[in-house]
Chains A and B, each alone.
Chain A
């Protein structure tokens, strides 16, 4: 196997993995959307270094719905049984670096102190092959959070579009080498497009957040938010979840489902008290979690700059516009210029 592959060569590889019984997920064209999906056939995979899927790869590690055990009720007797774990090897193929970069970030929360075995088992049996980005759009801001179009974080191997339908492969980890034994492991600058310019400084943003939990800026910046979970659910790093029971009197399962801090009932206390009763407070929480709470806890910004939040937001909000505004505000404060109303 050469370390340079054609589109046909990539498809052949994918077909081979599927044939071996491996689960392969890759970007797939669905209507007008590009979405990561587990492939039925190799031909579905789209190898495009210039387009970003509308969802993220977190689903393959932290599914939107996951039974955590089953229960069966017989009179007063209750029997719990474990979920049969999926053991097939999984390959995420032609993913974006900004999706893969979320994995080392998420590893913290799913492993600190208590270990979430569901997540770590999927991490262990999955190999992530990214495709370096050759373009960015207005919503992209990976370079502002310390990542980039060829960022290796979370990737086991990386493909580079070298033109003429050819892709050069670089192995980054042992897992990547196992998939591509002849691939180079040397660092490589490639034909990637120019990186997006930095749009804000996360440290400056964090400084603003830590001093301005209450700020007259929150309302005007976030009042158009309609409170859906499109941002959180397509975000590579958002990981909030709910635990609920689903079933009937005879039995059922306790399940872990995605949840979002943008929903009004997310933090409603049993007493009726809701610390985040208004939408701007919930928007503020999302920013705080990403740029203050998580960094202070795990020393990592909970954001890879993929821009999905803005692209998927029905009102074009996302985090970037707000971050730019508060970055500018903090810059003004730092310059000791009069703060504009």
Chain B
């Protein structure tokens, strides 16, 4: 038989970091050194991560594709697999299949200003692109990151947001929902669409990557439109439920696309031609 498509690589957990009260990030590396050397991926791709006995779950690979020592993913404690993942520790073994999906068109974005807009657990799939752009700084223009969560404690990668904000031609706009602020909070208070509108981000020659709950995306799109960003320059990454990740199991198809194979990254223009089934 040809290679077993569904058999994962074994990965050693090298670091687990608690990002928020219910989100952790995990760094893993291939147990098989040869596989580690051969492995490559594009930022924006995803993998099927698994705990044996609990099952598989789909997560974006949120590390930069330039990093060779480990890959990273991030999860919210919410279901059967993530409940068990919450317990893992350095030295544990998990399974990984991937990389899957199309990833971000980082080459096509060269020479453009980048606007990243994310809500809550959407920071990880943005983070990989931010780091990639910073590591190829000369190829990209201004970088703006608008990131919000319900409360201050729910902001993931808070330390990296600080680090990015110190870089040249990088602007980080942080926000929390009204009531989610602390007395020390220096960022914005409000919902992402409103904060984005207030932020007066220059939109010339910009592409926008918007990831978050459907409701956030829905209200952000008109703002981007008012800013003058065309829908073919607005990207998102869909979060359809998936099982196989390789275009077979039938969960993520919509219109002519299989989100796991043809996506998860689409422009809003592409999405407009696909039935609203995600």
Contact = CB atoms under 8 A, between A and B. Distances in A.
A97 to B, nearest CB: 24
A240 B5 contact: no
Which one of B248, B251, B261 has the greatest number of beta carbons of chain A within 10 Å?
B248
B226 interface: no
Interface in A278-332: 281, 285, 288-289, 292-293, 296-297
A238 B78 CA distance: 30
Contacts of A120: 2
Contact of B250 (A73, A82, A261, A281): A261
Which one of A68, A82, A109, A243 has the greatest number of beta carbons of chain B within 10 Å?
A243
B219 interface: no
Given A245-B53, A273-B213, A240 B239 contact: no
A252 interface: yes
B92 interface: yes
Contact of A293 (B240, B243, B256): B256
A242 B248 CA distance: 10
A71 interface: yes
Contacts of B198: none
Interface in B244-277: 244, 246-251, 253-256, 258, 261, 275-277
Contacts of B52: 71, 73, 78, 245, 247, 252, 254
Interface residues of A, number: 54
Nearest to B91: A76
A201 interface: no
A180 interface: no
A71 B53 contact: yes
A242 B254 contact: no
Contact of A115 (B5, B79, B214): B5
A124 B277 CA distance: 36
A153 B54 CA distance: 41
B98 to A, nearest CB: 11
Contact of A276 (B3, B6, B213, B277): B277
Contacts of A296: 255-256
A2 to B, nearest CB: 38
Contact of B5 (A77, A117, A259, A289): A117
B56 interface: yes
B4 A297 contact: no
Contact of B53 (A240, A247, A256, A266): A247
A289 B239 contact: no
Nearest to A85: B1
B256 A243 contact: no
Given A113-B261, A116-B248, A213-B277, A270 B1 contact: no
B40 to A, nearest CB: 17
Given A113-B247, A243-B55, A269-B240, A118 B277 contact: no
B53 A114 contact: no
Given A112-B247, A114-B248, A297-B258, A243 B6 contact: yes
26 contacts: A69-B7, A73-B52, A76-B91, A110-B248, A115-B2, A116-B248, A118-B1, A213-B277, A240-B249, A240-B251, A241-B248, A244-B55, A245-B50, A245-B56, A249-B53, A254-B56, A256-B6, A259-B243, A261-B251, A266-B251, A267-B241, A270-B78, A270-B82, A271-B239, A289-B253, A297-B253
Given A241-B249, A267-B240, A297-B258, 15 more contacts: A113-B246, A117-B4, A121-B1, A240-B251, A241-B248, A243-B6, A243-B243, A261-B250, A271-B213, A273-B214, A275-B277, A276-B277, A285-B277, A289-B250, A293-B255
